[in-house]
Copies of this chain bind each other. A is one copy, B any other.
Amino acid sequence: MSDSFSFKVTHRDSHARVGELATSHGLIHTPAFAPVGTRGAVKGITHRDLLGLDTELILANTYHLHLRPGAPLVARAGGLHRFIGWNKPILTDSGGYQVFSLGARRKIDEDGVAFRSHLDGSLWRLTPENVAEIQACLGSDIAMVFDECTNYPVSEEEAELSMQRTLRWARRGRDHFLSISDSPDRIEGEATNPGQAQFGIVQGSVYERLREQSVRQTVAIGFEGFAIGGLSVGEPADVMYRVVASTAAALPDDRVRYLMGTGMPDDLVECVARGIDLFDCVLPTRNGRNGQLLTRDGPLSIKQARFAEDHRPPDSSCDCYTCQHYSRAYLRYLYMSGEMTASTLNTLHNIHFYLDTMRRIREAIASGTFERFRQCFHETFSRRSRF
């Protein structure tokens, strides 16, 4: 367990909160959004671009890094920060979500998950213990405990069995994390970040009773922070908001709360209102590569023919590099031509929009005007394109 890891709430506005999450690689101002760098690179842009956007945290995927280049190689390079040349905080997910997404290519038992690599079909295994070891080698600042992620919809019975397995795995994962912290040389490879923290993950699908039980027992195990998993998997938005509200309220007030894999910009605003501090999502990067620009007015699909001679920037109120230098016409042309610069410029804009939204959220909470911000946001932002 880390001395360099701490979380402090500095401002509150109803359930929303502003905080500072300190890690051994620097401070994260919450509510925060982490761009996803699956394989140790945020697709389409460089670390220099990310720093220019004031990115304070990126997410990398344990599953992908485990398969290639492998945690021992990363450990020998001095850890993930040194290997990829990124000196700010990194969060590594548990690998659970990726493995469960493999469907027929994986087999779950009490010990863990056996699966075939999406790269070459080779056989691999993830357990609560080796996931903790892999992440110790990677040396992320925040390591997620190995969990089982349920589909949606799922029966309450199945969700309960899965949630209870996640709890058993959480105990094993936490024990192993603590034993590595005590004697870093006991694992193959090397623990590369003595400041690493470990987060627990609350499961229980959409069932309040299960979520309540999962919170209670996950908190009892004791983690530096807590995540809400198993949402943004297909359930309606109002269901997600309801589960987030009750789960966040039940989590300890003095620990950071992380909603995994969410979401659209309006989701972020709504979940901050319910007490969430931390988000990650592939939306700004993936949708950018697919030609969707997120703006204050909502999504803009740059491929539409109507933009062929539209010389305005994507979002005239945006001060990102893309909006300050390029027109919808040029961005559409680049996208239609298959130029990779289209992905870069769209991604730059989208990450800027997400981080700028979080900045505006923090300012509104700090000045006690979050409710007004939230209303204004929804009055302008529509998921249906208004362009």
Contacts and interface: CB of A to CB of B under 8 A. Distances in A.
B77 A339 contact: no
Interface in A119-150: none
B85 A326 contact: yes
Given A83-B329, A85-B325, A329-B83, A343 B340 contact: yes
A39 B336 CA distance: 11
Given A41-B341, A68-B337, 16 more contacts: A39-B333, A39-B339, A40-B330, A43-B340, A44-B341, A46-B345, A47-B325, A48-B325, A68-B336, A69-B333, A77-B309, A83-B333, A85-B325, A85-B326, A340-B343, A344-B344
A68 B329 CA distance: 12
Q: How many copies does the complex hold?
A: 2
A76 interface: yes
A100 to B, nearest CB: 22
Contacts of A45: 341
16 contacts: A39-B333, A39-B334, A39-B339, A40-B330, A40-B333, A42-B341, A43-B339, A43-B340, A44-B340, A68-B336, A68-B337, A73-B329, A77-B329, A77-B330, A85-B326, A85-B327
A347 to B, nearest CB: 10
A327 to B, nearest CB: 7
Nearest to A321: B48
A86 B41 CA distance: 27
A68 B309 contact: no
A329 B68 CA distance: 12
A254 to B, nearest CB: 37
A66 to B, nearest CB: 13
Interface in A46-104: 46-48, 68-69, 73, 76-77, 83-85
A333 B85 CA distance: 13
A103 to B, nearest CB: 22
Contacts of A329: 69, 73, 77, 83
Interface in A337-355: 337, 339-341, 343-345
Nearest to A68: B337
Contacts of A311: 77
A9 interface: no
B341 A340 contact: no
